Structure 1
């Protein structure tokens, strides 16, 4: 595939997957509007957000496995179609239940898209350019999450509630047409021929209950859910160790680089979400910023994180995944030292500098983590690896909300994040430096 055609295909893939993080964060600014529109309390409306998170977390490892069985191209196109139909369903929903159902379908579409897009990119992009392309891709996904609330507020203020779903339709249509005509059909031999339905069911129950346990539940409900969660998790592990075609092949975790890459994204995403959740509270209590000012200042963190994803892709080509991931966690430790001193310096400038460094630290290693995960498995397992990677990413966000609920002191929270950075440095040290020959080759080409 020529570079020009490759570029068009990458743009087409990005158009589709760009909407996944946008729809994840855009809905947050619409909750009060949805409450008024359907005359429902906010407690019920919150399920519009919760169901999206649950279905995305549950479906991604299954979606990656489906791509490896039936072809990443086919599952990607099904993902676009699901997302398109679900967006139209959200537009014409006449009650909250229908909206929640179609939001869950949106999440299914998004989950089918994400791991299979990464697998397709691995097939079509030469290894020497993979980290750069994934860096650009990661930057686009990060910007999607960052602009979601802004786009949602602009659409609702100038049009109506349905406009936040209408905006998906033309982009998804373009992505669908582009995918049909641009994505080549791959002829890799598939090792599995059917999906492990029983294992998928146990996995879905386990992840759903884990997410629900992070919400404010009564003691009795928490105990019951906790017991069912442990039982379903045991059944899942037992099933996967005996299934002919497991959803998650635990033998993959015998590879130190694969395990370390997934633990790295869990720790990094944990740090990122804790900062996103805790900073608005800190800015209001210690800096006395308005809601609007808080949103603007916090967007600096998101933009810094997105741009550093692209920078991380360039650094990965020069220094390799292991060093870039280690550098990312070292910067996380440094940024949280700065956050610890926010109470001593009531300075907006100091806050902004700390957020820029914090955003850079959590974003610069993301591409290298993805590359390390992909490089540790064969190409025909790219979908499975990407699905597991995405699930570990979600686990990081789930753990973050639990920490916020348990710890009340800002300083203790930043200390925990600093410790996470130290753990990340240890984990990064386990990643093999298999890409040194490629790095030397890239450096030689650059010098030539």
Structure 2
């Protein structure tokens, strides 16, 4: 019974609202994943105080989760196609919920990082299956509405994260930032058992590129560890160069592996499409710019004497702006605007917002303006960019293209955390903001390049 998917009760299966119930259940996972992503950075200062560690050590509470999630999304998705998406999704909820409880009870920083790795395994089992469950549950004519419901769940979690985190840290302590996942997870497990449909057709079994998974994970982990050493992690300075060399070597071996593997994690042949490379790089920078301020702003406001609750309220402007634009841009922007034009407009807005973040005083009364503008701009840019990426991928490789987008999302988020921490360690908050501005300019450049390439080919 633990290795097979159970059918929904007959009254549920026959209900005309069955697809809405299934999609609503998937929204639990979408909500939890984004809530967790935006809530954890508010625990950094309490963790530093309780465990007597450095910012470079605390950042691995986020990085360990993001690296594990990035490395596992593609292979877990392939296992789910074979074993059943409902089965893997429910197991993912169980692992995520149990690991969240363990994180809340962690006796030290090392244990917390380890439990975050386990939590990321559960998150990968959920995220790798969420879109597939939505698209197989909803009727074809309601597909866009169903995906909109899922996007709304993600946006709600992202928007509520800083406020909820500020309240929990101020009133109950950092451990409840993880504990809040437990009741939601238990409710979602029960709902999923009764409301999610079984997988109608499982794929044939196939060998997963395990060496590719290990090389990708090794390369990204070594690179981010090198950045952490430069940021003040308690390792010898010479180890940064050694880790950098290991990251380059593992990355080179990964690329060679992808050229020869019959079922690669990263299909290098697709990157010959000229729009795809700039689109993926722009997406990586977009998520970097989205999550970088979630690390920078709490540090700045905490140093200024702001409470966790006040910091969370200020920080909410960024994900709230992103949520509003991501869910409302389709209705508010002119229908004649192409994805390229929307992408350029969003990228230009990112540059303007981060220029304001550099120029304006870093005060609680001022920061919501540039943060809201940045969120709105990214909410316009990222959906348009991801659409362009997927349109550049052949229909027969849509799954691989989606995996690439997920990988850039995870890597961009991880690099955003590491880059801001490094800038804060080596210089100051203004330098960190200038670093983010540089990445925003790169977004604008990649968007212009992708659009120019498309025009020349058309």
Note the C-alpha offset of 1:310: 0.5
- Alignment of 1:298 with 2:315, yes or no, is yes
Whether contact under 8 Å (1:80, 1:176) holds in the other structure is: yes
1-structure distance, mates of 2:148, 2:330:
4
Pick aligned residue for 1:396 from 393, 407, 412: 412
1-structure distance, mates of 2:91, 2:386:
23
Secondary structure of the residue aligned to 2:287 is helix
1-structure distance, mates of 2:131, 2:415:
25
- Alignment of 1:329 with 2:347, yes or no, is no
Secondary structure of the residue aligned to 2:316 is helix
Range that drifts further, 19-28 or 355-364:
19-28
Pick aligned residue for 1:41 from 48, 53, 65: 53
Give 2:238's aligned residue: 220
Q: Give the TM-score normalised by the residue count of structure 2.
A: 0.77
Give 1:309's aligned residue: 326
Range that drifts further, 193-202 or 365-374:
365-374
2-structure distance, mates of 1:284, 1:85:
31
1-structure distance, mates of 2:91, 2:333:
32
Whether contact under 8 Å (1:261, 1:428) holds in the other structure is: no
Range that drifts further, 341-350 or 184-193:
341-350
- Alignment CA distance shift 1:230-1:416 (3 Å): closer
- Alignment of 1:244 with 2:256, yes or no, is no
Range that drifts further, 212-221 or 128-137:
128-137
- Alignment CA distance shift 1:127-1:271 (3 Å): farther
Note the C-alpha offset of 1:95: 4.5
Secondary structure of the residue aligned to 2:263 is coil
Range that drifts further, 109-118 or 262-271:
262-271
- Alignment CA distance shift 1:226-1:305 (3 Å): same
Whether contact under 8 Å (1:326, 1:429) holds in the other structure is: no
- Alignment of 1:176 with 2:179, yes or no, is no
2-structure distance, mates of 1:260, 1:241:
20
State how 1:10-21 maps to structure 2 within 5 Å.
10-21=23-34
2-structure distance, mates of 1:52, 1:145:
17
Gaps of 5+ in 1: 433-448
Give 2:5's aligned residue: none
- Alignment of 1:76 with 2:89, yes or no, is yes
Whether contact under 8 Å (1:90, 1:103) holds in the other structure is: yes
Note the C-alpha offset of 1:230: 1.4
Pick aligned residue for 2:450 from 403, 415, 427: 427
Note the C-alpha offset of 1:282: 7.6
2-structure distance, mates of 1:185, 1:31:
40
Q: Give the TM-score normalised by the residue count of structure 1.
A: 0.79
How many residue pairs are counted as aligned between the two chains?
427
State how 1:43-122 maps to structure 2 within 5 Å.
44-122=57-135
- Alignment CA distance shift 1:298-1:114 (3 Å): same
Note the C-alpha offset of 1:355: 3.5
